[in-house]
Amino acid sequence: MNPDAIRVEVIETSSLGDRSYLATDGDVAVVVDPQRDVDRVLALAGRLGVEITHVVETHVHNDYVSGGLELSRLTGADYGVAAADDVPFRHTPLSDGDTVEVSGGMRLRVVATPGHTFHHLSYVLESPRGAQGVFTGGSLLFGTTGRTDLLGKEHAQTLARHQHASARRLADVLPDGAAIWPTHGFGSFCTAAPAETDDSTLGQEKRSNPALRLAAEEFVTEALAGLDAYPAYYAHMGVANLTGPEPVDLRSPDRAAPDELRRRLEKGEWVVDLRHRTAYVQAHLAGTVSLGLDGPMTTWLGWMIDWGAPLTLLGDSPDQIARAQRELVRIGIDRIEAAASGSPEDLAADPGQIRHLASADFTDLAAVLSEGTEEPSRQSEVVLDVRLNNEWNASHIAGAVHIPLPEVARRIDEIPPGRVWVHCGSGYRAAAAASLLDGAGRDVVLIDDFFANAAPSGAPMAQA
């Protein structure tokens, strides 16, 4: 076999900030950390004309429901999972030092790399000429590592030490030219910090990665200091993956007529508008929540919604509904109660349901804030910052109220009376918060602008 024939294909799930991989010698393939909608993987294998013979997991995932079990069922592939993880379904238990023979010229060498989880594994992809690269899951990432607090804060420090040792171990056993293929690091909350590059090698990581540059205790201190909140739905992902996820059902949800939509809204159910926020501002149904499919809809909806609560999706087209449904099953939201597509005018049971939302930028806000503080009108303006804690601590508008987006729905009563100017880092989260406030009857202005423009626009700034 020609070792140069080994090909590693990246399967992006940008909405969750993750990657899966398919490695092939041209005849057979191994899949690493597949997402739940495995039809994407099967389609890729079909295009390449290869047979999937092995599927492996680096760890029990906390940010998505795995498709590994279903992919192995559909293909008959051997399913490799850490031996230390007690799972009830059929699998091949893998431990440090094991070898997975994928083909005559391609194999995986199993390396225990605890840190992101206690039983985390990495897989060194080897050909006859040696190590080509390593699938690192949530261990060594691009310029960072996977976070170590997802199993509980009481384990975070211990796991951070493991994470440091695991990164050093990979550096010891692999050549500098070995490629790094992480699962996390592209926007996932599983990472300690966002990736700043799109690919890397072990040699590059030795020069830039804190786990390979800092002493153990210094790394632990830095890694734990940078952690912020993570999505509430993570609590359900590990449980689903340990028990064995059910197959995905992507059949279209029942279509809701205007009268049914009105009833659901009147009951206070979650009805999510998937259109871009600029369209939502122009017209929307009263009581809907703006979470455009152009952004990380799944992450924020999964974080805010009560798990198992009825959910209805609204979109421009059936295709938009289908794309949202696909994203939601990746985090275990399998049941969509109803859906409807069309303009707000098409979906309204009566014209009184149509609402509009005021929008502005930071220049507009700065002008309002520059008015005399003794004027009564000045006292009626409220700035609401819905970014996360680390963002707020780095810099914020002086006098602003800080409530992270996932907490807005239950803390609306804490927002002072007056017109609420709501912002985030780019406008996406602010649109979601503004829609919640609008549904609660507040006078709200969406600041659809980048926070980086706040200070240059003249807004008064402060730090925590």
Residue identified by tokens 């992507």 is 250
* Neighbouring C-beta atoms of residue 376, cutoff 10 Å: 6
Residue 192 pLDDT: 72
For residue 255, which of 340, 320, 170 has the smallest C-alpha distance?
Answer: 340
Residue 346 pLDDT: 96
Q: What is the dihedral of CA 384, 284, 295, 329, to 10 degrees?
A: 120
Domain boundaries, the chain: 3-243, 258-355, 358-462
* Neighbouring C-beta atoms of residue 219, cutoff 10 Å: 24
CATH topology classification for 3-243: Metallo-beta-lactamase; Chain A (3.60.15)
CATH number of the 358-462 domain: 3.40.250.10
Q: What is 258-355's CATH superfamily?
A: Rhodanese-like domain (3.40.250.10)
**Rounded (5°) CA angle 2-74-87:** 100
- Check for a shared fold between 3-243 and 258-355: no
SS3 content of the chain, % helix, strand, coil (to 5): 35, 25, 40
- Using DSSP's 3-state secondary structure scheme, residue 140 falls into strand
d(CA 402, CA 397): 10
**DSSP string for 251-273:** PPPPBPPHHHHHHHHHTT-EEEE
d(CA 196, CA 30): 27
Residue 376 pLDDT: 39
pLDDT tens over the chain, length 464 residues: 455 689 999 999 999 999 999 999 999 999 999 999 999 999 999 999 999 999 999 999 999 999 999 999 999 999 999 999 989 999 999 999 999 999 988 999 999 999 999 999 999 999 998 999 999 999 999 999 999 999 999 999 999 999 999 999 999 999 999 999 999 988 888 887 777 778 999 999 999 999 999 999 999 999 999 899 999 999 999 999 999 999 999 999 999 999 999 999 999 999 999 999 999 999 999 999 999 999 999 999 999 999 999 999 999 999 999 999 999 999 999 999 999 999 999 999 999 999 999 999 999 999 999 975 544 344 589 999 999 999 999 999 999 999 999 999 999 999 999 999 999 999 999 999 999 999 999 999 999 999 999 999 999 999 87
